[in-house]
Chains A and B, each alone.
Chain A
Amino acid sequence: MNVLNEWAFVGIFIAIAWVFPALPIIIARFFGPKKPNAIKLMTYESGVETVGDTWVQFKIQYYLYGLVFLIFDVEMVFLFPWAVAYNELNFFAFGAGLLFIFLLTDALIYAWRKNALEWS
């Protein structure tokens, strides 16, 4: 039996997935009343109206903070299972976790010493 038939529902799903969001939009366009005014046309939900030119350069410090934050955010993901299973770990797994923390600390010290955490 052809194995692709088992997967055919993925194809059907993709086809339907296009129709589903498109349909309400099309229906709304044909049947909905259109009475635009300035307030209705304003941006809402996904942000606010911009003030001034949007093509300004952001302070590079944002990126550094973002990166440092990301490192420790990801660290959480790895260390959480390690901490939960702590009681049943053998020495190797314990050491691997410590090594991981050490390497991250190393990176933090580096960022610190290079003044990446200064806001000026």
Chain B
Amino acid sequence: MEASFDFWTHLPAVIPELLLTVLAVVVLLLDLYGGKENRRNIAFVSAIGLAAIAVTPLIWGPSEQQVFWGGMVRYDLIAQIFKVMIIIGASITCLMAADDSEVGHKGEFYLIVIVATLGASLIAAAADLIMVFVGLETLSIPLYILAAFRRDDERSSESGMKYFLFGAFSSGVMLYGFSLLYGFTGETNIYTLSQAFPAAVADNPLPLIGALLMLLVGFGFKVSMVPFHFWTPDVYEGAPTPVTAYVSVASKAASFALLVRVLLAVFPVTLVIGQENLQTLWVNLVSVLAIVTMTIGNVLALRQTNIKRLLAYSSIAQAGYVLVGVAAMQSQSDYSVASVAFYLLMYTFTNLGAFAGVLIFSETTGSENIKDMGGLSRRNPWLALGMTIAILSLAGIPPAAGFFGKFYLFTAAVNANMVLLAIIAVLNAIVALYYYLIVIKVMYVDRSQYDSQSIALSRSTLWVIGLTSIAVLLLGTFGAQPFFDWAAQGAQALLAL
């Protein structure tokens, strides 16, 4: 710590994290002293608290964009954008959980969600390998607990166990990658690592390639990239639905924020070690992984009969689309980073909407089969409409936000002269249309055994469905360009030192 360390200049950089800690303590105390009958209100306290915290990164921050806390976290616009989407995602998750019969009345659930959010928002801004690891674990460990939250349910325990084993293993591999980077350079700061490389490894790119591969294993697991996706369907199916929703948006958004920052800062375009341009290497690698991830996700989704498993494979495929944007970062990185950020922003609302629909449906009928969703439009037209908007957005059909999300990503790929990659991505999007539209067809055309049973929307779920639908429609129409410009402005700040 330098002598001139001024607490007050460093404080605003971590305001959301500090407030999240305070909220976690408040929720904990409410759970202890609030009484059993008030348990449900904890959901609303958490949701409103998180929503309020989500605004703070926008209104209060340090006056300049730089690294704070001894190089541990970086304050810049892109980190703030990711923090906002993560915390809003958590807020909607809490609101969604309020009416879940299994987790909604447990105060711990909200506490753990808040702690996970704390970790996620730390890694969105992490500028040091130590911080990256601490943040990732602060995010992951609560998620393992959340996945196994229904203690009496075997599927839930299994999903928690699988998630934990995969997660622990990939964390280990990633840590090994960190140790390689640190061992060769003696640096842990993401922004100074690349300058230390030439002196550290001379002309031999081998250690850096090893480190790069190991980092990709760790991040690949978090974003469910093929071939590290095997946990996704089981965890998504077994975990309580609000948890599934949370894992699919907040954890993924944070991990992509980290992936983008690490790849661009640690392996920049200028870095050439012994004729080997490391950026070309990871761009090629990520392109191939993007193609494999999209294709496998979409092909396996075609055969699913369980709606949560379908959304799991769909989220693998969506990760593949985002990887297209990551691969396109080789040239005009601003546009590509912005397209990734925009995609994740719209994906947050889209997937939360879709999972909220699934939650209400399975709460009422006890079934998660797609064919049992027959006649949903007659049982509750608003629910069916909300689901339809979310699914149209996942499929990328205007006026839902998914269209612009995919449009920006694929444009980024074309701008980076990766036309083939863009074409494969578009073909994949067409394959995906099939299984998304089947769900809509089932809801509006088919009939099922539950046809006469109407589904009631409680006030909180109505809020969730309404908010996410409006956000998706807004981002798909008037909101698209302003938010994309905002993200592009943030993307410029990513590398400006």
Q: Do B7 and A3 have beta carbons less than 8 Å apart? A: no
Question: CB-defined interface of A103-120 with B at 8 Å, one 1/0 digit per residue?
Answer: 100100110011000000
CB distance from A32 to the nearest CB of B (A): 38
CA distance A103 to B111 in the complex (A): 13
Q: Do B206 and A106 have beta carbons less than 8 Å apart? A: no
In the assembled complex, B153 has its CB within 8 A of some CB on chain A? no
Q: Do B7 and A106 have beta carbons less than 8 Å apart? A: no
CA distance A106 to B5 in the complex (A): 29
Q: Do B200 and A103 have beta carbons less than 8 Å apart? A: no
In the assembled complex, B32 has its CB within 8 A of some CB on chain A? yes
In the assembled complex, A56 has its CB within 8 A of some CB on chain B? no
In the assembled complex, A22 has its CB within 8 A of some CB on chain B? no
Q: Do B204 and A110 have beta carbons less than 8 Å apart? A: no
Question: Which of chain B's residues 148-189 have a Cβ closer than 8 Å to chain A?
Answer: 184
Which one of A3, A109, A114 contacts B204 once the chains associate, using CB atoms below 8 Å? A3
Main secondary structure of the interface of A (DSSP, over half): helix
Q: Do B28 and A2 have beta carbons less than 8 Å apart? A: no
Knowing A92-B5, A103-B25, A106-B25, the reply to whether A3 touches B32 (Cβ < 8 A) is no
Which one of A3, A92, A106 contacts B201 once the chains associate, using CB atoms below 8 Å? A3
By a CB distance below 8 angstroms, the chain A residues around B32 are 109-110, 113-114
Q: Do B202 and A3 have beta carbons less than 8 Å apart? A: yes
Q: Do B200 and A3 have beta carbons less than 8 Å apart? A: yes
By a CB distance below 8 angstroms, the chain A residues around B485 are none
Which one of A4, A92, A110, A114 contacts B206 once the chains associate, using CB atoms below 8 Å? A4
The size class of the interface chain B forms with chain A is 10 to 19
CA distance A103 to B32 in the complex (A): 15
Question: CB-defined interface of B11-41 with A at 8 Å, one 1/0 digit per residue?
Answer: 0000000000100010011011000000000
CA distance A9 to B25 in the complex (A): 51
Shortest Cβ distance from A99 into B: residue: B21
Knowing A92-B5, A92-B7, the reply to whether A106 touches B204 (Cβ < 8 A) is no
In the assembled complex, B203 has its CB within 8 A of some CB on chain A? yes
Question: CB-defined interface of A1-16 with B at 8 Å, one 1/0 digit per residue?
Answer: 1111000000000000
Shortest Cβ distance from A1 into B: residue: B202
By a CB distance below 8 angstroms, the chain A residues around B200 are 3
- Of A3, A4, A103, A114, most buried by chain B (CB within 10 Å of CB) is A3
Q: Do B202 and A106 have beta carbons less than 8 Å apart? A: no
CA distance A92 to B11 in the complex (A): 11
CA distance A92 to B184 in the complex (A): 34
Question: Which of chain A's residues 74-89 have a Cβ closer than 8 Å to chain B?
Answer: none
Q: List 26 A-B contacts (CB under 8 A).
A: A1-B202, A2-B202, A2-B203, A2-B204, A3-B184, A3-B200, A3-B201, A3-B202, A3-B204, A3-B207, A4-B204, A4-B206, A4-B207, A92-B5, A92-B7, A103-B21, A103-B25, A106-B25, A106-B28, A106-B29, A109-B32, A110-B28, A110-B31, A110-B32, A113-B32, A114-B32
Given contacts A4-B204, A114-B32, 7 further A-B contacts (CB under 8 A): A2-B204, A4-B206, A103-B25, A106-B28, A109-B32, A110-B32, A113-B32
Interface residues of A (CB under 8 A from B): 1-4, 92, 103, 106, 109-110, 113-114
